[in-house]
Amino acid sequence: MPTLNFDITTLFQQAFGIGRGKPYDKDQVQEQRIMQVDGYTAPALDDEEGTEFVDMRNVVKASTPYGQQIFMPMRLGGILLPNEPSLNIQMVNRIVKTSLTGSTRKGTVKELIGRDDDMIVIRGIALNYQSTKVYPEDIVKSIRDLVERKESLPIESALTELLGVTRVVIERCTFPEMIGVQHAQAFELQCVSDEDFDLEVGEGPVF
């Protein structure tokens, strides 16, 4: 018998074996906290969110279905991904390491060559909120269509905006099995960052 479960955190744990952050709560109380150490009173901590997070939340507010509270909404290829997927970004520098023969210097000499593509993993859960017996076919098809576009896709989220990532290319898409769950489907997109560039064509040699 299918499991009637709309708990995104539990489904996320079941599909990926890792935890998921709590969703954004618009009613949470922002408390001003004071820390005292040996008679010193530290200034109140500012719990206000950064501009990028507030702006991105406002951008997708109108397109968020069912009035759901949103933590880190994300658009990929113009499509609002369901249920606030998790986002993992790994930024890697490309470095040449050179050992100095006969030197008393410890370690190697590092020469920074450049930046590699950022590696981005998006994990989420597609849910059919209308029926516990119907597979979320339309959402899965939308994700499949993103993969089949085979092109650089615009990405919008507070974190990618903060880190300067505006476009990605999907390298791999995985739909993990959801044992005993009929109305949900996990998905994982492994992507690399991409940037627009201008190709300047100069005049060739004259023969």
Residue 50: pLDDT band with limits 50, 70, 90: low
**pLDDT of amino acid 142:** 94
Burial of 157 (0-12, 13-18, 19+ CB in 10 A): buried
The whole-number average pLDDT for the span 151-169 is: 91
pTM comes to 0.67
Question: Average model confidence (pLDDT) for the chain?
Answer: 75
Q: Which of 56, 77, 59 is nearest to 154 (CA)?
A: 77
Domain 56-194 sits in CATH at 2.40.30.200
**pLDDT of amino acid 65:** 46
For the chain, the domains span 56-194
Residue 58: pLDDT band with limits 50, 70, 90: low
Residue 41 has pLDDT above 90, yes or no: no
Residue 83 has pLDDT above 60, yes or no: yes
**pLDDT of amino acid 144:** 95
**pLDDT of amino acid 28:** 42
- Tens of pLDDT, residues 115-157: 889 999 999 999 888 888 889 999 999 999 999 998 999 999 8
Backbone phi, psi, residue 160, to 5°: -65, -35
Q: What residues does 76 pair with on adjacent strands?
A: 79, 155
